[in-house]
Chains A and B, each alone.
Chain A
Amino acid sequence: MRSVNQPVRKKDAMSLVTGQPVYTQDIAPKDCLVVKILRSPYAHALIKEIKTESAMKLSGIECVLTYKDVPDKRFTLAGQTFPEPSPYDRLILDEKVRFIGDAVAIVAGDNEKTVDKALRRIKVKYDILEPILDFRCAKDNEVLIHPEQNWRSLCNVGADNKRNLCASGEEKHGDVDEIIGGCDWIIEQTYHTKANQQVTMETSRTFTYLDETGKLTCVTSTQIPFHVKRILSNALELPESRIRVIKPRIGGGFGAKQTAVTEVYPAIVTVKTGKPALIVYTRRESFIASSPRHENEIKVRIGADKNGIIKGIDMITLSNTGAYGEHGPTTVGLSGHKSLPLYGKVEAYHFRYDVVYTNVMSAGAYRGYGATQGIFALESAVNELAEKMGMDPVQIREINMVREGAVMPAYYGETLNSCALDRCMAKAKEMIGWDEKYPRINLKNGKVRSVGVSMAMQGSGIANVDTAGVLIKVNAAGLYDMKIGATDMGTGCDTILAQIAAECLHCSVDDITVSGVDTDVSPYDSGSYASSTTYVTGNAVVNTCETLVEKIRDKGARQLGCAIEDVEFDGARVYQVDAKESINLKDLTVAVGSDKELSATELFCSPVSPPPFVVGMAEVEIDKETGKIDLIDYVAVVDCGTVINTNLVRLQTEGGIAQGIGMALYEDITYGESGRNFSNSLMQYKIPTRLDVGRIRVGFESSYEPTGPFGAKSIGEVVINTPAPAIANAVFNGVRVKVRELPITAEKIYNGMKQKNI
């Protein structure tokens, strides 16, 4: 293949590395009003009185908005296809505040200093309410986070605002109690994963203005331009036809921008004032009022027979959605759907879940989207099972892992058409030297080196929901213009999709101009999330190219005066198979008297979501005196089907592993007794630097996914799922300490060793 499976440079690479002004804030008009938010100092309170007159009097202040100025119609900020599973539980500004940092007022003015001054002049009196800060106590608590009458849930997700439930439900296959009851080996444990921040280097930011027709135009750092259009329409009670959303270059997403965190604020300012408005979240705001990973507590019960065959799994997930329900009902599902199917010999499973409202910052989408949490719990439990049985944790996976051809009851009943998990395991084992290093090597300096393992899966888009449109036309130069609705957020999808198109159209990637998202111009795409772009939009590219090639051949045949069956297209020209006549594409496009434009557009929606797989192995070094842990080496071997861009897939993998390492070892959003978020800067919430990640090595063992573009599956999310359970396993193999609550800190290891007297 000429374009697919090649290390093609990203189309925007050189402009990014030379620092060109291509991001939202760089292209904002200079006369934008500065928009800032006054935030609640209380975790749970009613606004009794709010005085804005003094702030309004300041010269340069354009507007000060409170809950009295916004529509009283609830909506969700979650970027999901309508009808959204996330409850409609938000107003732009509410009389009730539900976490420390919740929005109380919006101020817009000429410059930042004046706006800051105005913020200080707003006087608010609160009726303080008792908060719910422990998510284990939220369900059926007498304190209600969302008692309001106009709260509503659009989908049947088991939500009940009178019980603080954002969602609840259960699924089962077979009789898990009977199967586990008959097992020789049983493990039952509880695991706790924390809320984590995506920490996109570019925080959320948006500017809005009215265009020459009076249309509200929103330029924003988002993964979900088409959903933002609907969200703004809901929030502002404006028809969607009066809203246009444009996505420039994006400084990272990871799910953070699958929620419309900032868009509504400048939008309402522009609607009220008619003036352009810009909001740029500070790092602090992006730490205290954004959309982090859902904190989960997951109980796992596993039964295995005397040979180590895992027969039954029982999983109960409690998920903390915080003050609002963005992505609450859907993330929790993945904790089961994208962990349980890893074990192919399970005869029965039972998966139950509750998602609860509390008075902390609302959670959202973060790479892995619940699968990460479920996989930490299940993989840790499997490692504990192996230990109890005296089995190598690699071996227990080798005999239980799901194989190609399996029907997966816990994965929507889908059949696994492509799976190289077995080859991933073998290669990872070889790359890290598992047999030589397992379980540990004691060093002479009082330290120990040990290895640990985990497997992981994810999906490729949301089956029967994610929809991608692609439009390709031949331009007057005889080259191609491709419009996509998928959002490149640094991942390189503009380039990857051009590679797929170039392969189909027998041309060079450079011959294809890709235009990113403008909802007035681009074909519809549900957005870049759920690991959908390469698979779902990639398939739409393939289908569009097929239609286009047919049109090119048809027009060529008519120009050559023969039947379409007699001609072929080789990328440059349409030629008669049995004769010498041909016409090149450029001449064909502008042929005199031609009546048909050479363009094609197709939508694609997949009935399945083929899972990619990863095996991760960690080698750590632990100081037996202090518990200090250093990551030495991390090996990940991935099956993402056919690799489309050999460079970008490697980077995605290394980057996801590094984020997973942060989650495993450092990252933890912590709250004080009153609900104050202590993790409000990069000083308190530390992400890995280049000194912390050790060595990350990745390999690929490709299967061929028959439903994917050129056999491809997804890569974006699956790669974050293995570090936490693999590192926890390495810690156990090194010092026999089981850390069941993330992050795995030196203190936890030290205290564990002390209890065991190691």
Chain B
Amino acid sequence: MIIKLWVNDKKITDEIDGDAILLDFLRDHGCYSVKRGCETSNCGLCTVLMDSKLVLSCSTLVARADGKHVITLEGLQEEAKEFGGFLADQGAEQCGFCSPGLVISVLTMVKELKNPSDREISEYLSGNLCRCSGYMGQLRAIKRYLNQKGAQKNEIS
């Protein structure tokens, strides 16, 4: 089937199989930040934005993206650098394989949650697994980033 979609604001028209998965499609189109960590929608590594909503690209058919705008971390480089700097200052990226999914989720969370508590942050991001960091360094980075953005007034420990 023929589909039309926008990937990082670039219009793409392509012929695809009906069962093609968005994750594979995006990697085939050069979006290597999108990673596969499981086949069961558990890990959050493949998270991208589709019409401004977070979706797991491993369990989204490309056909569903027809006519839509898909954004990956390749399309959010400045924002990724800004928040990523906070992760880097904690050493919380560690192996980095889960970073793209986490970063795009945090960038979206900032828009959706006002002054979130630690618990709300952890709940929002509970679908983003990480095996290296134990999550604490990520939380420190997120809180410092939110503070700088004026989006959280919580005390930073």
Spell out A's residues near B (CB within 8 Å).
7, 9-10, 12-21, 23, 26, 198-203, 249-254, 282-284, 489-492, 645, 647-648, 650-651, 653-659, 681-683, 687, 689-691, 693, 695-696
CB of B109 closer than 8 Å to a CB of A: no
B91 A650 Cβ-Cβ under 8 A: yes
CB of B129 closer than 8 Å to a CB of A: yes
CB of B49 closer than 8 Å to a CB of A: no
5 interchain pairs, CB-CB under 8 A: A202-B37, A491-B94, A651-B134, A690-B122, A690-B128
B123 A691 Cβ-Cβ under 8 A: yes
Select which of B32, B85, B139 is within 8 A of A690 by beta carbon. B139
A16 B91 Cβ-Cβ under 8 A: no
Measured between beta carbons, the chain A residues less than 8 angstroms from B138 are 690
A19 B32 Cβ-Cβ under 8 A: yes
B95 A250 Cβ-Cβ under 8 A: yes
Residue of A nearest to B91 (CB): A647
Select which of B83, B85, B90, B93 is within 8 A of A16 by beta carbon. B93
Select which of B42, B84, B139 is within 8 A of A683 by beta carbon. B42
Q: Which of A9, A12, A201, A655 has the most CB of B within 10 A?
A: A201
Give the contacts of B29-56 with A (CB-CB under 8 A): 32-35, 37-40, 42-43, 45
CB of B65 closer than 8 Å to a CB of A: no
A290 to chain B, nearest CB (A): 14
How far apart are the CA atoms of A14 and B85 in the complex, in Å? 7
Instruction: From known contacts A10-B91, A682-B42, A690-B125, infer whether A201 and B133 are also in contact, taking CB-CB under 8 Å.
Output: no
B131 A200 Cβ-Cβ under 8 A: yes
B91 A693 Cβ-Cβ under 8 A: no
Measured between beta carbons, the chain A residues less than 8 angstroms from B88 are 9-10, 13-14, 17
A252 B95 Cβ-Cβ under 8 A: yes
Measured between beta carbons, the chain B residues less than 8 angstroms from A491 are 94
How far apart are the CA atoms of A472 and B87 in the complex, in Å? 30
CB of B77 closer than 8 Å to a CB of A: yes
8 closest A-B pairs by CB: A490-B95, A19-B33, A16-B96, A17-B84, A251-B97, A658-B134, A654-B134, A21-B32
A609 to chain B, nearest CB (A): 24
CB of B152 closer than 8 Å to a CB of A: no
Instruction: From known contacts A13-B88, A201-B129, A282-B39, infer whether A651 and B122 are also in contact, taking CB-CB under 8 Å.
Output: no
CB of B74 closer than 8 Å to a CB of A: yes
A201 B97 Cβ-Cβ under 8 A: yes
Instruction: From known contacts A490-B94, A655-B131, infer whether A690 and B100 are also in contact, taking CB-CB under 8 Å.
Output: no
B38 A283 Cβ-Cβ under 8 A: yes
Q: Is the interface of A mostly helix, strand, loop or mixed?
A: loop
Measured between beta carbons, the chain B residues less than 8 angstroms from A252 are 94-95, 97, 131-132
B38 A682 Cβ-Cβ under 8 A: yes
Measured between beta carbons, the chain B residues less than 8 angstroms from A682 are 38, 40, 42-43, 129
Residue of A nearest to B34 (CB): A19
Instruction: From known contacts A201-B98, A651-B137, infer whether A9 and B126 are also in contact, taking CB-CB under 8 Å.
Output: no
How far apart are the CA atoms of A687 and B131 in the complex, in Å? 8
B135 A693 Cβ-Cβ under 8 A: yes
Measured between beta carbons, the chain B residues less than 8 angstroms from A645 are 91
CB of B14 closer than 8 Å to a CB of A: no
Give the contacts of B118-150 with A (CB-CB under 8 A): 122-123, 125-139
CB of B70 closer than 8 Å to a CB of A: no
Known: A283-B39, A490-B94, A654-B133. 14 other contacts (CB 8 A): A13-B88, A17-B88, A17-B93, A18-B81, A198-B131, A199-B131, A201-B43, A249-B96, A253-B95, A650-B137, A651-B92, A654-B134, A654-B136, A690-B125
Measured between beta carbons, the chain A residues less than 8 angstroms from B127 are 689
Instruction: From known contacts A18-B73, A251-B95, infer whether A681 and B135 are also in contact, taking CB-CB under 8 Å.
Output: no
B92 A19 Cβ-Cβ under 8 A: no
A7 B91 Cβ-Cβ under 8 A: yes
Residue of A nearest to B123 (CB): A691
How far apart are the CA atoms of A60 and B15 in the complex, in Å? 20
Q: Which of A15, A249, A490, A690 has the most CB of B within 10 A?
A: A690
B87 A13 Cβ-Cβ under 8 A: yes
B89 A7 Cβ-Cβ under 8 A: yes
CB of B57 closer than 8 Å to a CB of A: no
A202 B89 Cβ-Cβ under 8 A: no
Q: Which of A18, A199, A647, A659 has the most CB of B within 10 A?
A: A18
A17 B126 Cβ-Cβ under 8 A: no
B129 A17 Cβ-Cβ under 8 A: no
Select which of B34, B92, B126, B137 is within 8 A of A691 by beta carbon. B126
B90 A490 Cβ-Cβ under 8 A: no
How far apart are the CA atoms of A202 and B96 in the complex, in Å? 10
Measured between beta carbons, the chain B residues less than 8 angstroms from A10 are 88, 91, 93
Select which of B42, B80, B123 is within 8 A of A681 by beta carbon. B42
How far apart are the CA atoms of A19 and B102 in the complex, in Å? 11
A490 to chain B, nearest CB (A): 3
Measured between beta carbons, the chain A residues less than 8 angstroms from B91 are 7, 9-10, 13, 492, 645, 647-648, 650-651
Measured between beta carbons, the chain A residues less than 8 angstroms from B33 are 18-21
Measured between beta carbons, the chain B residues less than 8 angstroms from A648 are 91
A526 to chain B, nearest CB (A): 21
How far apart are the CA atoms of A252 and B132 in the complex, in Å? 7
How far apart are the CA atoms of A355 and B79 in the complex, in Å? 52
Measured between beta carbons, the chain B residues less than 8 angstroms from A696 are 134-136
Residue of B nearest to A17 (CB): B84
Measured between beta carbons, the chain A residues less than 8 angstroms from B74 are 19
How far apart are the CA atoms of A655 and B33 in the complex, in Å? 23
Measured between beta carbons, the chain A residues less than 8 angstroms from B139 are 690
CB of B103 closer than 8 Å to a CB of A: yes
How far apart are the CA atoms of A26 and B31 in the complex, in Å? 10
Measured between beta carbons, the chain A residues less than 8 angstroms from B95 are 16, 200-202, 249-253, 489-490
How far apart are the CA atoms of A114 and B72 in the complex, in Å? 29
How far apart are the CA atoms of A14 and B96 in the complex, in Å? 10
B32 A654 Cβ-Cβ under 8 A: no
How far apart are the CA atoms of A10 and B126 in the complex, in Å? 25
Measured between beta carbons, the chain B residues less than 8 angstroms from A13 are 84, 87-88, 91, 93, 96
Measured between beta carbons, the chain A residues less than 8 angstroms from B87 are 13, 17
How far apart are the CA atoms of A648 and B130 in the complex, in Å? 16
How far apart are the CA atoms of A14 and B70 in the complex, in Å? 23
A203 to chain B, nearest CB (A): 8
How far apart are the CA atoms of A492 and B133 in the complex, in Å? 12
Measured between beta carbons, the chain B residues less than 8 angstroms from A658 are 133-135
Select which of A14, A26, A282, A691 is within 8 A of B84 by beta carbon. A14
Residue of A nearest to B104 (CB): A19
A651 B133 Cβ-Cβ under 8 A: yes
How far apart are the CA atoms of A284 and B35 in the complex, in Å? 16
Residue of A nearest to B135 (CB): A690
B89 A14 Cβ-Cβ under 8 A: no
Residue of B nearest to A649 (CB): B91
Instruction: From known contacts A17-B93, A19-B99, infer whether A656 and B45 are also in contact, taking CB-CB under 8 Å.
Output: no
A683 B40 Cβ-Cβ under 8 A: yes
How far apart are the CA atoms of A356 and B141 in the complex, in Å? 46
Measured between beta carbons, the chain A residues less than 8 angstroms from B97 are 23, 200-202, 251-252, 490
Measured between beta carbons, the chain B residues less than 8 angstroms from A20 are 32-33
A281 to chain B, nearest CB (A): 11
How far apart are the CA atoms of A282 and B95 in the complex, in Å? 19
Measured between beta carbons, the chain A residues less than 8 angstroms from B90 are 647, 651
Select which of B73, B89, B134 is within 8 A of A655 by beta carbon. B134
